[in-house]
Amino acid sequence: MAILNSNRKRLLLGLTFVSPAMAGFLAFALYPTLASIYYSFCSYSVLQPAIFIGPENYREMVRDEVFWQALRNTLFYAGFAVPVGLFMSLVTAMLLNAKIRGLAVYRTVFFLPSLVPLVANSILWKWIFNGEHGVLNHFLSYVMRDPPGWLTDPNWSKPALIIMSFWGIGHAVVIYLAALQDVPVSLHEAAEIDGASWLSRIRHVTLPMISPVIYFNFIMGIIGSLQVFTQAYVMTQGGPLRSTNFYAMYIYTTAFRDLRMGYACAMAWALFIIIVALTLLAMRSTRKLVYYATG
């Protein structure tokens, strides 16, 4: 009986400690998730009670031209920002893994931009991309007669945001650095003794050994790029001509500007399905390319 009472006290004490986290999870995660599923089948303006309309919101998405444009904009952004960002962060990490003087300073310099808040970062790049007084066009004017209007030209607005995304590769670089330092030196030495060039050592030793980390950054890049929002909202408000009206931004404007919360919930769940599908596709297509050391 004494042991039973002691176990009950421990259980009660443990539940007391986890109760704030559980209450927060139920109130701010589980309930909104379940409610959004229901509202996705409703006509709901936030100001009026929800009216159940079945799958009509999902049918409307198929007919909504702005929805498809937002999806194309997002896939275009992800299709360039993710692979190029992976390549640049990996190359940067390899350079920062070299044994040179002042290495800690270089690593700090490359990581600092990723610590800048995204809103402040977007305002900074908005001035850099300014077509008349921006720093970038000032230097381009020496080699181009008419530098592009980055944020005012539909043909250059998405490339501008893609270029801006490379400014925040510091987090991926740190992860790559940790992986590179775990690659056994003996493998590089053995490959060098066998006559392998530096490029062959990278291809046949370094990349296979850090392939799980590359895979992780690839998946996180897909998920993050499909939810891009802040940059476009601060810098372009979705313009010009909706060229930067990304999926997440269209969800936001539909929910909080047009007060069509039901339709926005339906789009949010459609985005969830798209992310899951692309993640599963990436997992299946890269399964044989990822090496996991055992034992």
**pLDDT higher than threshold 60 for residue 7:** yes
For residue range 131-160, list pLDDT tens digits in order: 888 899 999 988 988 889 999 999 999 999
Contacts of 67 (CB under 8 A, 6+ apart): 61, 250, 267
Return d(Cα 92, Cα 180) in angstroms, integer. Answer: 12
- The alpha carbon torsion through 147, 149, 153, 155 (nearest 10 deg) reads 40
Locate 88 and state its tokens. Answer: 């640049």
Locate 227 and state its tokens. Answer: 């939810």
For residue range 40-83, list pLDDT tens digits in order: 999 999 888 999 999 999 999 999 999 999 999 999 999 999 99
Cis status of the peptide bond prior to 240, with omega within 30 of 0: yes
Q: Fold for domain 65-289?
A: MetI-like fold (1.10.3720)
For residue range 239-281, list pLDDT tens digits in order: 899 999 999 999 999 999 999 999 999 999 999 999 999 989 9
**pLDDT higher than threshold 70 for residue 175:** yes
**Who wins on pLDDT, 44 or 100?**
44
The least confident of 176-185, 254-263, 284-293 is 284-293
Return d(Cα 248, Cα 199) in angstroms, integer. Answer: 40
Per domain, the residue ranges of the chain are 1-31, 65-289
Return d(Cα 63, Cα 66) in angstroms, integer. Answer: 9
pLDDT of residue 196: 85
Return d(Cα 128, Cα 145) in angstroms, integer. Answer: 18
- The alpha carbon torsion through 105, 111, 115, 118 (nearest 10 deg) reads 140
Q: How many C-beta neighbours within 10 Å does residue 115 have?
A: 10
The least confident of 62-71, 126-135, 226-235, 285-294 is 285-294
Confidence of residue 1 (pLDDT cuts 50, 70, 90): low
Q: Note if the pTM is more than 0.75.
A: yes
